[in-house]
Structure 1
Amino acid sequence: MSKLPPYLEKPWNVYHATLKVPKDVQSFIGRKKFYKSLETDSVGEANIRKLPVIAEWKTQIKVARAAQKDGQNLSVDEQVAYYKGEIERNFKGYEADGLMLVHDILDEKYLRNHNQQDMTVIPARTDTTDAEKKAAYTILNRVSGDWTATHERVDEFIAQAQYTPQTADECRTNLRLFCDRFAVFEVISEEQVEAWILELLQGLQLRTVKKKIGFVRTYWNYCKKRRYTTANPSAVLTDSMYPKVQKTKATVTEVVKAKRKAFTVDDYHKLLSAKPDDHALCDLIRLAAYTGCRREEVCSMPLRNVLSDR
């Protein structure tokens, strides 16, 4: 029997994700082991579905350790994991009551000053910042499942996309930019994306920006299709986001100048003379020049494909 991949078990015909809880937080978390059905009999699909599950469990372990230390602040992600864990442990079957308790805790901690309430009004807190109030709303909506963090499914998406390593890195970089800019899917507006695009265009070509948005659109569609979010990318990521470019003589000339030009023979010799002692690099330059291969094609070429007659 072949060995199962890490964090997977298959007690019957369905794969389950599993993770042992460290001894130092077992009493806090209330169990010795995390265990969850992935609802698939495909090992490939299970390897993809386990990623966000394991990530959330590891965050809960981190939060449990932090909660045992006084005065340590938790991030939004860590607070979401903490409250989700508390509801799962202490309000099984009564999740609505647990969510109401989370609402009351966040309301009292960040939003309203319950110590100064009168018969009709609970005044807003003045000792918390707007960022803290916004974070409280985000935490509550993510714990309830109404909002989905944009970064939650990035690893899962890239794993199933079967990109080449280079494309996977490019995708991850662009999605990180998107996630840093927009925390949750459900509150993103077309106007906000349009403003982001205009900022990107300050230093990038339009086609480059469109490629970045292409990664975002594909990822968002994936999350929508899998029902990780109810937000519809088609309602936000539209063609009207991009600025209209008038085809004048000046703009056409600019586009032509921006296009990549072929290397000349002089350029080839300059490249070789720039690093004459780096024999490996010079060999790669010669190989690329005489074969027309791209960088990734040259670097991934196995020796068995290099024959003496070629």
Structure 2
Amino acid sequence: MDRKYLVKQYNTYSVVVEVPKALQAKAGRKRFKKSLGTDSLAEANRRKHFHVANFHRQIAEWAKGGGDSDAKLARLAAEFRQALESSDKRWHEDEQEHEWSEYEEELDRLKAQAVVIQNSDGSEAAARFFNAATGQATFLKDQYPMWLAEVQHAGQTKGQHESTIKRFMGWATDSVTIEEVSRKKAGAYVTDLLASSGLAHATARRHVSSLSSLWLWLVGRGVAQENPWRGQQLGKKQEPAERKGLPSKALLKLLSGTYSTPKFAQVLSDLLRLALLHGARLEELCALKRADIHKRDDGYWMAITSGKTRAAKREIPVHPLAVGIIERRCADKDEYLFVGLDPGGPDNKRSWYVSKAYGRFREQVEVAGDKEDFHALRNTFITCMEGRGVLESTVKLLVGHSRKGSITYGHYSKGESVPLRNAIEQLDYGAEVMKAIASP
């Protein structure tokens, strides 16, 4: 098992990234270290990638010289704040009967330093420094990591959140304080996102949503007084293209095509057919293990043991046209049904590289529309089942959608007695497509 970037102390793994010697003075440290909160090596390996990527980004920023002045002022403000908080506020009288206090002397030093900063970096930087040093302001960079640690989002989403926050800090300054982000300043940033960032409207909207979520957390923690991002308008929203079921022409192109790279050729062929026959998500299929496949009196069944929601955990009958794929892959004797898939991405998903390969495969067979991705196969399955008259509540059991919207079927019944095999055997994309599925 890989132990790179990992150390274990007191039965808990931490991720450690060394700072290059030439950058240690600028960084003010020799290494990054973050507890991963687990004694499992496998889990530590899954969790470490997010932090390793962040640490390397910071090292790269120091290597480029970015944020050096801001970081210096932030460190200086922290030193003054610590000195003020530890200073004695009692007044004393010296031999000349002059009154003095340790706190007031430290405050005078701080005011003098603020003047120096104002002369060199401007009044905004000086005010930010003074407010942070006196505890009247809080640096955003000191707060957002705690939010990221608390939010219950996947690693990829957390990575997007962090990228969004760092982009804002790059615009406002790395030492921006929470208190100085007014509605006016937030509005100016939104204008910049729309006018000059080059970001798509949907991406800009996601950026504002991330920042708004962070500020809601800050308000809840008593660090911020209001959320300046709430109500920021992004202009007329362009309606995104809808993902629909793929037509027979596109399905035949996919089913008759062969991916150019041998490593993924058979994998994509099998995954494509399993998705069309069961409506399963890509990661659900890539994560299947031989132990998840079992045979009942009526044929093979597969257990989906994890997914995006609680409803995603389910058992579904294997379609007759998929039996050959299942038996061939179970004969391999590997733990996983799909052997040799390297996990990747922020969430260490087994589908990470497969998804990218499928995107290239779609281009090769000219099914490369924006909404014609692997997830469109799920839409195709659901559309077909609806056309065959299968009850929506039954389709939800097959594809792992919640039935909570129905009091009768969602609350009082969990679907144990629904004849799922009868339902899935009603699947029919037409003779030509079904023949292509049966002939991988």
Q: Give me the TM-score of the superposition, normalised by structure 1.
A: 0.56
Paired position in structure 2 for 1:164? 154
- The answer to whether structure 1 residue 144 and structure 2 residue 134 are counterparts is yes
Paired position in structure 2 for 1:278? 264
CA gap of 1:272–1:217, structure 2 versus 1, over 3 A, is farther
Q: How far apart, CA to CA, are the structure 2 residues paired with 1:278 and 1:229?
A: 50
CA gap of 1:78–1:295, structure 2 versus 1, over 3 A, is farther
Q: Is the 8 A contact 1:80 1:142 kept in 2?
A: yes
Q: Is the 8 A contact 2:164 2:207 kept in 1?
A: yes
Q: How far apart, CA to CA, are the structure 1 residues paired with 2:286 and 2:103?
A: 54
Q: How far apart, CA to CA, are the structure 2 residues paired with 1:210 and 1:278?
A: 35
Q: How many residues align?
A: 215
Paired position in structure 1 for 2:178? 185
Q: How far apart, CA to CA, are the structure 1 residues paired with 2:84 and 2:261?
A: 62
Q: CA shift at 1:237, angstroms?
A: 2.0
Give the SS at the match of 2:211. helix
Q: How far apart, CA to CA, are the structure 2 residues paired with 1:4 and 1:99?
A: 45
Q: Is the 8 A contact 1:141 1:147 kept in 2?
A: yes
Q: Which amino acid aligns with 2:233?
A: M
2:79 to 74, 79, 82: 82
Paired position in structure 1 for 2:291? 304
CA gap of 1:104–1:237, structure 2 versus 1, over 3 A, is same
- The answer to whether structure 1 residue 239 and structure 2 residue 225 are counterparts is no
Q: Which amino acid aligns with 2:72?
A: S
CA gap of 1:78–1:272, structure 2 versus 1, over 3 A, is farther
Q: Which amino acid aligns with 1:101?
A: R
The structure with the largest alpha-carbon Rg is 2
Q: CA shift at 1:261, angstroms?
A: 5.0
Q: How far apart, CA to CA, are the structure 2 residues paired with 1:75 and 1:100?
A: 20
Q: Is the 8 A contact 1:80 1:143 kept in 2?
A: yes
Q: How far apart, CA to CA, are the structure 2 residues paired with 1:204 and 1:155?
A: 24
Matches within 5 A, 1:85-234: 85-89=82-86, 91-93=87-89, 95=103, 97-107=105-115, 109-111=116-118, 125=119, 128-130=120-122, 133-182=123-172, 183-201=176-194, 203-230=198-225, 232-233=226-227
Q: Is the 8 A contact 2:84 2:134 kept in 1?
A: no
Q: Which amino acid aligns with 2:219?
A: K
Q: CA shift at 1:220, angstroms?
A: 0.8
Q: CA shift at 1:6, angstroms?
A: 8.6
CA gap of 1:134–1:199, structure 2 versus 1, over 3 A, is closer
Q: Is the 8 A contact 1:76 1:139 kept in 2?
A: yes
Q: Which amino acid aligns with 2:203?
A: T
CA gap of 1:144–1:129, structure 2 versus 1, over 3 A, is closer
Q: CA shift at 1:303, angstroms?
A: 4.8
Deviation by residue 1:78-104 (Cα, 9 ceiling, x = unmatched): 222222333345x24455553332122
CA gap of 1:211–1:223, structure 2 versus 1, over 3 A, is same
Q: How far apart, CA to CA, are the structure 2 residues paired with 1:98 and 1:76?
A: 17
Q: How far apart, CA to CA, are the structure 2 residues paired with 1:80 and 1:129?
A: 14
Q: How far apart, CA to CA, are the structure 1 residues paired with 2:266 and 2:111?
A: 62
Q: How far apart, CA to CA, are the structure 2 residues paired with 1:272 and 1:95?
A: 75
Give the SS at the match of 1:293. coil
Q: Which amino acid aligns with 2:183?
A: E
RMSD: 3.6
Paired position in structure 2 for 1:121? none
Deviation by residue 1:35-54 (Cα, 9 ceiling, x = unmatched): xxxxxxxx9xxxxxxxxxxx
Q: Is the 8 A contact 1:148 1:229 kept in 2?
A: no
1:268 to 247, 254, 262: 254
> Which runs of 5 or more structure 1 residues have no equivalent in the other structure?
8-42, 44-71, 112-124, 246-250
Q: Which amino acid aligns with 1:239?
A: G
Deviation by residue 1:237-286 (Cα, 9 ceiling, x = unmatched): 233532246xxxxx6xxx36x34455531453487424344257525555
Q: How far apart, CA to CA, are the structure 1 residues paired with 2:165 and 2:288?
A: 29
Q: Is the 8 A contact 2:78 2:132 kept in 1?
A: no
Q: Which amino acid aligns with 1:305?
A: D
Q: How far apart, CA to CA, are the structure 2 residues paired with 1:148 and 1:289?
A: 52
Q: Is the 8 A contact 1:193 1:241 kept in 2?
A: no
CA gap of 1:284–1:169, structure 2 versus 1, over 3 A, is farther
Q: Which amino acid aligns with 1:171?
A: H
Deviation by residue 1:103-140 (Cα, 9 ceiling, x = unmatched): 22221x233xxxxxxxxxxxxx4xx344xx43232111
Q: How far apart, CA to CA, are the structure 2 residues paired with 1:285 and 1:96?
A: 72
Matches within 5 A, 1:44-63: none
Moved more, 219-228 or 192-201: 192-201
Q: Which amino acid aligns with 1:304?
A: A
Q: Is the 8 A contact 2:81 2:133 kept in 1?
A: yes
